[in-house]
Structure 1
Amino acid sequence: MVKYLKIFEIAYLVIAIISIFEVIREYINVQEINYLFLMFGVVSIGMFFFRRYMRKRIEKQRQSEQNTKQ
């Protein structure tokens, strides 16, 4: 299960990178900021850190449960 959480973390980073790249590309070409893609980028970065925090918390909790069983 932790493997899937890591995959989703990477997916959020990829979405953020693509969104921010698209904002920069459009700003260079049209001289306007695409706020929708900017919002996707910011939210994706936030979700990456939130998912990362939750995954590490789950790993720590599982590890402490395994240590108490032994």
Structure 2
Amino acid sequence: MVKLLRYTEYVYLVVAVLSVYKIVALWSTEPKETYIFIFFAIVSLGMFFFRRKYRKKFEARSKNNDNR
């Protein structure tokens, strides 16, 4: 389960990187289309850090339960 959480973190990071790439590629030609990719990049980065914090909390809780 923890490995799955670790992989989903990085999926969000990949989406953020791809969104930033698309922002840079479209900025000079179609700036209005970049707003959706800016939104995706911000949400993806937020979800990456949220999932990371949640996974570490889950690992710590599992480790404490195993030590009992």
Report the TM range for the smaller structure's normalisation: over 0.9
Is 1:67 aligned to residue 67 of structure 2? yes
- CA displacement at 1:32 relative to structure 2: 1.6
Aligned-residue Cα RMSD (Å) equals 1.1
TM-score in terms of structure 2 length: 0.93
1:58 alignment counterpart = 58
Number of positions where the alignment pairs a residue of Structure 1 with one of Structure 2: 67
* Bigger Rg, structure 1 or 2: 1
Higher relative contact order (CA 8 A, sep 6+): 2
1:44 alignment counterpart = 44
* Matched letter for residue 31 of structure 2: E
Provide the C-alpha distance between the structure 1 equivalents of 2:14 and 2:51, rounded to a whole number of angstroms. Answer: 14
Structure 1 runs (4+) greater than 6 angstroms displaced? none
